[in-house]
Amino acid sequence: MAPLFLPHPRLDELIRLLLAQGFAVIGPRVREGMIAYGEIAAAAELPWGWHDAQGPGFYRLTRSDAPRCFAWANGPQAIKPFLFAPQETLWRAEKKDGCLVFTPVTPAPRPLAFLGVRACDLAAATIQDRVFLGQAVVDPYYAARSEELFVISVNCTHPAATCFCASTGDGPQATAGFDISLTELDDGFLAEVGTQAGRDLLAALHLAPATAAQQAEAAQALAHAAQVQTRALPGRNLAAALFSRLEHPRWDWVAQRCLACGNCTQVCPTCFCHAEEDRPALDGSGTVHERRWDSCFSAGHAWLHGFQVRPEIRHRYRQWLLHKLAGWHEQFGRSGCVGCGRCIAACPVGIDLTEEVAALLAEADHGG
């Protein structure tokens, strides 16, 4: 099917159709100085005229009167928290009849329609699906949250200086995982169909086909978005290269700068580490067992009854980078990095994984 054209003023109709079908619509909004996803009811809530500037340890929003609502690159928050909750109750335990009773607490499935997901976040969601749904044991919490989704992606025409999705193969254009894919022009969107559900929704809007000129403009914008990316990873599978550099002096140099704050892991759309914890239930009826995001930079992550497997920051940064770019291949068949650049912008000291990888690979192999 040839792409259709969705004029900006008709975006509201699309949102209303999704709401009418019972979806909660999740879209980007400006909140606390950043663009973050949340529930929206109208197109007016989108970040019209907002732009971002990003760099190592740097994220700022600026405004113009440009007539676009997607003239920016992803902010610190991915769509991950909607599917893999930062904190949730797994079950409750009560004492009863001299023994214990366990009751699961699974989230009620809630149909979510994401509006404006970027290619990197779609790729990341596919990776998280492999972690939580694609192994022998399926995670019922993640499964419940992702049971009914509708995904409208918006291809990236304004990558940030921190982006490198072109080198990981995950962007700037979404190629899979969407029901509808949009590319923004000054007066509206090119709309392409990914699934039957997407086709049905667009059919209800009775849109005109996009003109050849509009299609050419969109293609050019996407090619440009890939070309302007200055950062890159030097390959899609760096497992062998990194595992052979376990004792490279660069790990000491990164450890001197890294604060082990874990910001990089909190913003990363693929990081899946979590910890479990028991808490007394608020109503005094026993305890609730919760899980919350954890980070391989935290002191407790590799704790082993009185022994710390990764006592030094050098070990923790190495664990993070090696897992993401090396161990991940063995576990999930691809790298765990989608090139979103969030960890670079969110790092308070501006550590840039592309720079670290380049340094590790450039110098002679120092054994390992």
Ligand X SMILES: Cc1cc2nc3c(=O)[nH]c(=O)nc-3n(C[C@H](O)[C@H](O)[C@H](O)COP(=O)(O)OP(=O)(O)OC[C@H]3O[C@@H](n4cnc5c(N)ncnc54)[C@H](O)[C@@H]3O)c2cc1C
Q: How far is the CB of 244 from ligand SF4 (least distance, A)?
A: 21
Asked whether position 131 contacts other proteins by CB under 8 A, the answer is yes
**The tokens 């067992």 sit on which residue?**
289
What is the binding site for ligand X (CB under 6 A)? Answer: 299-300, 303, 305-306
Of the candidate residues 39, 200, 278, 363, the single one contacting other proteins (CB under 8 A): 278
Q: Which residue, 121 or 294, has its beta carbon nearer to ligand X?
A: 294
Q: Where are the beta strands (DSSP E) in 251-366?
A: 274-280, 287-293, 303-304, 307-308
Quote the longest CA-to-CA distance of the chain: 75
Q: Using CB under 6 A, which residues numbered 271 to 310 contact ligand SF4? A: 297
- The answer to whether 367 contacts other proteins (rule: CB under 8 A) is no
State yes or no: residue 95 binds other proteins (CB under 8 A).
yes
Q: Which is nearer to ligand X, 271 or 338 (CB)?
A: 271
Interacting partner of 322 out of ligand SF4, other proteins, ligand X, none (Cβ under 5 to 8 A depending on kind): other proteins
Map residues 210-249 to x or -, x wherever contact with ligand SF4 holds by CB under 6 A: ----------------------------------------
The residue among 114, 132, 96 whose CA lies nearest residue 38 is 114
Q: How far is the CB of 283 from ligand X (least distance, A)?
A: 26
Partner in contact with 262, chosen from ligand SF4, other proteins, ligand X, none, beta carbon below 5 to 8 Å by kind: ligand SF4
Strand spans (E) along 32-160: 34-39, 50-55, 58-63, 87-96, 99-104, 112-117, 149-154
Burial class for 316, CB neighbours closer than 10 Å (0-12, 13-18, 19+): buried
Of the candidate residues 262, 293, 301, 332, the single one contacting ligand SF4 (CB under 6 A): 262
> What residues have CB less than 8 Å from 274, skipping those under 6 apart?
84, 291, 292, 293, 294
Partner whose binding site includes residue 347, from ligand X, ligand SF4, other proteins, none (CB under 5 to 8 Å by kind)? ligand SF4
- Catalogue the E-assigned strands of the chain: 4-7, 24-31, 34-39, 50-55, 58-63, 87-96, 99-104, 112-117, 149-154, 180-185, 188-193, 208-209, 274-280, 287-293, 303-304, 307-308
Q: How many residues bind other proteins (CB under 8 A)?
A: 61
> Which residue has 């050098």 as its token pair?
314
Does the footprint of other proteins cover residue 121 (CB under 8 A)? no
Closest distance of CB 347 from ligand SF4, Å: 3
Nearer to other proteins, 215 or 287 (CB): 287
DSSP conformation class of 147:
S
Sole binder of other proteins in the list 138, 176, 204, 228 (CB under 8 A): 138
- Stated as kind and residue range, the H or E segment containing 267 is helix 263-267
Q: Is there binding between residue 51 and other proteins (CB under 8 A)? A: no
Q: How far is the CB of 103 from ligand X (least distance, A)?
A: 23
Tell me the two tokens of residue 200. Answer: 């049905």
Q: Are the beta carbons of 180 and 4 closer than 8 angstroms?
A: no
